Amino acid sequence: MIEVEGLTKRYGEALAVDAVSFRCEPGTVTGFLGPNGAGKSTTMRMICGLTRPSAGHATVRGVPYARIANPGRHVGVLLDAAAQHPGRTGKETLGLTAHVLGVPQSRATEMLERVGLPPKAARRRVGGYSLGMRQRLGIAQALIGDPGVLILDEPANGLDPEGIYWMRTLLREFADRGGTVLLSSHLLREVEAVADRFVVIAGGRIAAQGSKEELLAAPGGGVLVRGLDAAALQGALAAAGLAARPEGEGAFVVDAPAEAVGRAAAAAGVVLLELRQVSGGGLEELFLTLTAEAARAPDPLRAPPVPEPASTEVAR
């Protein structure tokens, strides 16, 4: 589990992150979203103990990251794939990580295979890797200690469509085994496909957070229902006192929970062909709406965020 409570970061008068709070539960993938400069990377660096917060705190598996003994065995972190040493080969990079973490060297070979870096690529120096290859190597470093938590900042950068699908499958399987994933990415459709929960940050503040179902439901909520007999269904809904509006081809949108709609239809003996939550415009529309609202309401006390200094190594 990851718990963030009131994390705040100031650089002089510039307020980069403002009282951010959220939780990432075991068995879930949490998508951490926001425009450039919103404070995502700064927040993740504070969670990992690389940036000292001005206020608030964060814990991973119940304690601050800095207090976790041999943290790479418990938390896999990828914050900057470009920070890997360019003079080492991929195999040397993972071999060193295995040595530092105290895991068998065989794990390095296993992880190279798992992330799709063949022996020929593993023998090449990292300085000659493409960005996508660096991302795969960084993910291998994050996984080599067999952690229960993953914290990944833009891990899909540079991956081709096949690589993105591979990463999505890997993260979903990791969470389904009980792992906790905090995933920052600008690839909204991919995050929507894999995440269970979303945390949206804009201007350094939380703009929205919740489950996929809560945040992506159409404004006002409601369900779409379609029956074998449209007239009978309409009558059943009216008899139950449920407001419904036609949606074409014998369907209705009802401003009520799905259970209430189903019970009303069952009580009237109406056969249902479709009953589902009404979807909104998807994560992309939610993201644009929330970030636009944040931009329209600037805080006169807020100075522009100051960029983080570049790290020199991938955090482990």
Distance CA(23)–CA(202), nearest Å, equals: 17
| CATH class of the domain comprising 219-277 | alpha beta
pLDDT tens digits, 164-177: 999 999 999 999 99
Residue 167, both tokens: 């990463």
Contact 49, 58 (CB under 8 A): no
Got the DSSP string for the chain?
Answer: -EEEEEEEEEETTEEEEEEEEEEE-TTEEEEEE--TTSSHHHHHHHHTTSS--SEEEEEETTB-GGGSSSGGGTEEEES-GGGS-TTSBHHHHHHHHHHHHT--THHHHHHHHHTT--HHHHTSBGGG--HHHHHHHHHHHHHTT--SEEEEESTTTT--HHHHHHHHHHHHHHHHTT-EEEEE-S-HHHHHHH-SEEEEEETTEEEEEEEHHHHHBPTT--EEEEESSHHHHHHHHHHTT--EEEEETTEEEESS-HHHHHHHHHHTTPPEEEEEEPB-SHHHHHHHHHHHHHHHS--TTPPPPPPPPPPSS---
The pLDDT of residue 304 is above 60: no
Per-residue pLDDT band at 150 (split at 50, 70, 90): very high
Q: Please state whether beta strands 197-202 and 205-211 pair in parallel, antiparallel, or not at all (unpaired).
A: antiparallel
Q: pLDDT above 90 covers what percent of the chain?
A: 66
pLDDT band at 316 (very low <50, low <70, confident <90, very high): very low
Angle at CA of residue 13, ends 12 and 16, nearest 5°: 90
At a CB cut-off of 8 Å and minimum separation 6, what does 231 contact? Answer: none
Q: Does domain 2-215+282-296 have CATH number 3.40.50.300?
A: yes
Segment 197-209, tens digit of pLDDT? 999 998 899 988 9
In this prediction, residues 181-203 reach a mean pLDDT of: 89
Which whole number is the average pLDDT over 31-43?
A: 91
Lowest mean pLDDT among 1-10, 115-124, 273-282: 273-282
Question: What are phi and psi for residue 272, nearest 5 degrees?
Answer: -95, 140
Q: What is the domain partition of the chain in residue ranges?
A: 2-215+282-296, 219-277
Q: Which amino acid is at 297?
A: A
Q: pTM of the entire structure?
A: 0.74
Name the residue type at position 152: L
2-215+282-296 and 219-277 agree in CATH topology: no
Give the pLDDT of residue 303: 46
pLDDT for 129 equals 94
Residues 218-261: tens digit of each pLDDT: 555 578 899 999 999 999 999 999 989 888 788 998 988 888 99
Per-residue confidence (pLDDT) for residue 252, from 0 to 100: 92
CA angle 40, 43, 46 (to 5 degrees): 150
Q: Characterize 14-26 residue by residue with b for buried, 16 or more Cβ atoms within 10 angstroms of its Cβ, and e for exposed.
A: ebbbbebebebee
